[in-house]
Each structure stands twice: as structure tokens, then as C-alpha cells.
Structure 1
Amino acid sequence: MKAMRPIALVIIAVVLAGAGWLTVVATNRYGLATPVLPASALVTMAVIAVITLVMGIRVLRWRNGKKKSMLNPILAARTLILAQACAYVGAMLLGWHGGIVVEQLRIWNFRSDQPILWLALIMGGGGLVMVVVGLVVERFCRIPPEDLEGGGTAGPRRGDAKGEGEYAYRRD
């Protein structure tokens, strides 16, 4: 699995900021409500970020050798996928609500008592937290370079070929 590129997250945020801004301009023109998430969405965002962080800490503890039992590789892969999804969704939320904030700041002088602006700022902050948690947990799931080179083990590992021309095997 490839690592996330931060530039992709920035591109997602910028594109969705533009889409959010255009949507708010259109909804304001036709007198519709501003499309911002409700405050209860913060609870969901926090739960997702905490679950991702807890699962990432479990993988980190195993990777650093603090756990003696073997880590389920499926759990580690799911943790990595959850971290990447958390970062992508966070970038989307940050961008969308960033576009809303830009449009709401334009009319700040006319209506300074805008709860939508503060709600959009808080949602954008929650998206930023999700991006940071996703990137940090993805770093937790990386295999150290010494494990990739095989320098840390003295003998052949499971699945290694025994000699030239032989296939990898699995010991039971």
C-alpha cells in the first residue's frame, strides 16, 4: 500500500473549498440555508479520530516491541486504511467548511452575529484534527527500514528461499 501524499490532501481541500464557496454563493443567491454540518457531527468526528488513534497506538506499541504477542496483520492493515480514510475525509471537511468560511467572512461586516461562521470554523478545525490524526497514525503503521532489509534477524525467516533456485516455503 502506498503512503499518502500530503499534496493530494491539499489538492482535495482546495478543490472542495472552491466547491463549498460556489455552493454557498448559489444558496445565498436563492435564499436557501447554508450547507454546513450540524454541531452534532463533531461528536462523530471525535469518535472516528479517537478510534483511529487508539488503533494506531496499538500498532505502534507492537512495532516498538512493547507487546510480546503477535499483532494480527489484518488489524494492522485495517488500521492503516482507517488512518488514510480519516485523513482524506478530514481534508474534505476542512476544504468544504473553509470555502464556507471564506464566503461568510465577506459578509461579516453586514451581519456580525453569524452562528454559521463559527460553526463552519469549528467543523474546519475538526477536519484539520482528522487530517493530523490520519497522518500520524499512518506513520505509526510504517515498518522500520531495518525490518525491510532483513538485518535484524540472524536466520532465515518464514517464506524466505533457502538457496539459489529454490522457492520460498511456508513452515507450519
Structure 2
Amino acid sequence: MSAKRTPWWQPALALALGTVAGAVVAELGERFNLTLIGAPWFVAALLIAIGIIVLILALNVHKYATTDPRKRPSTFINPRLAFDTLVLSKALALAGAMLAGWYGGQIIPTIGHIEADFYSQAVIECAVTAVVCLIDMIIGLVGEWLCQLPPTEGPENPKMKRAERERGVAPAAAKTAR
């Protein structure tokens, strides 16, 4: 199974879409006298916890994947867990970008009313949660990088092909074609 890295433009697009959506919702809440802005503090705490868990999982996968197979401890990492960690990292990167835009976008229309207690509290909540979401986005991108497998030492590895050429040995594909 082969997974591709998340392109740079996907988190950027998610951040932009989240910013527009957050600003629109905050503006609609202001027009219709609804309290749609802000974020409870437990949301920021929960997002920090999710980011830490994903980072720990990704570090464990990276440690296992980069350790010499002869020196690996007897503990075995389930391939399903490694794949799920990769998927979690990708999801955290995109969700973190979208939510950072969402909470950052809510600040834009409300910054003009920051002198009011409600708006000042909402801006602080949104700013803190947006920073936490940006950290989660970075953790997701780093976690995705940590889940990469090093190239195998099989016949397709460039080092092995170069060594075969230096020794004058025909590649494995040419041997089987005869």
C-alpha cells in the first residue's frame, strides 16, 4: 500500500476556506444577534491532547521504522496501527488548518467591537484556539513525515542497483527475462 504526502496547497486551501467560513458565520451572528463566535476552553485543551497523542504515535512508528531490523526490540508495531497513525496525521493536518482558519476568521469581523467584554473574551478564545489548531496542523504534517518508511534494501533500491552495476552483475529483472 502506497500513500502520497499531503500537497502543500491542501492545508493552505483548508486554512483559506476556514477563514472565509468563520468570518461569514461571525458576521451572520452579529447581524442576527446570535452568539456563534468563540470557543470553550475545553476545545483548545482537547485539540492539544489530540495533537500530543498523534505526535507520540508518529514518533513510535518512526522509531520502529528507522531501527535496524536486527536491533529492534521484541515489541512489534502492528502495520494497521502504523497506517492508522499516518491517516490520523493527514487528518490532523487538514482539520487543524481548517479549524485555525475558522477561529481566525471569527476574529476578523469582531475585532472592531473588542472594547465590549463579550467580544474581547470571544477574540481571546478564538485566538488561543486558532494557535492551538495551527500547532495541530504542524504536528499533523510532521507526523505524516515521521510515518514515512525508509527505502528498502531490495533490488529496486538505487543503492542496490548501483552496487550491481559496479560489480558487473545484471539486474534481477534481466536475469528473469532470459
TM tier relative to shorter chain: 0.7 to 0.9
Q: Deviations over 1:2-24 (max 9, x none)?
A: 21112111111111111110111
1:116 aligns with 2:98: no
Q: What's the CA shift for 1:149?
A: 1.7
Aligned to 1:19: 21
Q: What's the CA shift for 1:44?
A: 1.2
Q: What's the CA shift for 1:74?
A: 1.2
**Does the residue aligned with 2:38 lie in a helix, a strand or coil?**
coil
Q: What's the CA shift for 1:57?
A: 0.8
Q: What's the CA shift for 1:42?
A: 1.5
Q: Deviations over 1:26-54 (max 9, x none)?
A: 11011110333211112211111111011
Mean alpha-carbon deviation: is it higher for 32-41 or for 127-136?
A: 32-41
- Which of these residues, 84, 89, 112, is aligned with residue 83 of structure 1? 89
Give the whole-Å Cα distance in 2 for the aligned partners of 1:93 and 1:15: 10
Aligned to 2:169: none
Superposed CA RMSD: 2.6
Give the whole-Å Cα distance in 1 for the aligned partners of 2:100 and 2:92: 12
Mean alpha-carbon deviation: is it higher for 55-64 or for 137-146?
A: 137-146
1:164 aligns with 2:176: yes
Q: What's the CA shift for 1:112?
A: 6.7
1:138 aligns with 2:144: yes
Aligned to 1:100: 106
- Which of these residues, 73, 79, 84, is aligned with residue 68 of structure 1? 73
Q: TM-score, normalised by structure 1?
A: 0.81
- Which of these residues, 107, 131, 135, is aligned with residue 129 of structure 1? 135
Identity %: 24
Q: What's the CA shift for 1:64?
A: 2.1
Q: What's the CA shift for 1:145?
A: 4.2
Mean alpha-carbon deviation: is it higher for 33-42 or for 143-152?
A: 143-152
Q: Any unmatched runs of 5+ in structure 1?
A: 155-159, 166-172
Q: TM-score, normalised by structure 2?
A: 0.78
Give the whole-Å Cα distance in 2 for the aligned partners of 1:5 and 1:106: 35
Q: Which protein is richer in helix relative to its size?
A: 2
1:149 aligns with 2:157: yes
Give the whole-Å Cα distance in 1 for the aligned partners of 2:88 and 2:78: 15
1:43 aligns with 2:48: no
Equivalenced residue count is 159
Q: Any unmatched runs of 5+ in structure 2?
A: 164-171
Q: What's the CA shift for 1:76?
A: 1.0
